[in-house]
A = this chain, B = another copy of it.
């Protein structure tokens, strides 16, 4: 069976690393200084801290860069979609042993109306094509 095209192995990020890569997904390629500025103040990180995170993200292969003059323009290697997908899988496995039910229960207790609409749409879409012995 051919490899699933969407199944690239993504690096695992620490919490702080997630905060540093988010601006890159939001704005595209950025200089370290701009990433720094884009990170919410509530984290209270020094610029140097952000730089350290960027270095680690590069080392992990989650971020790469192009050199422009004497500085770098950083950009993500994986889409946010890819990264969140695998992080979610890992999380679900760790916390729920792979079972979604508790997460769903949590969900229905906390969603707002808008999110609920999204979900209903997704469900409708799913029902329609219904397909598929998914879950083997």
Number of A interface residues in the complex (CB < 8 A): 43
- Among B80, B94, B104, the residue within 8 A (CB) of A18 is B94
Q: Find the residue from A101, A104, A114 having the highest chain B CB count within 10 A.
A: A104
Copies in the complex: 2
A113 touches B88 (CB 8 A): no
B119 touches A104 (CB 8 A): yes
Please provide the chain A residues from 16 to 30 with a CB less than 8 Å away from any CB of chain B in the complex.
18, 22
Complex contacts, A116 vs chain B, CB 8 Å = 123, 126
Q: List 11 A-B contacts (CB under 8 A).
A: A22-B97, A84-B96, A88-B95, A100-B107, A104-B107, A104-B118, A104-B122, A107-B122, A108-B123, A114-B135, A120-B123
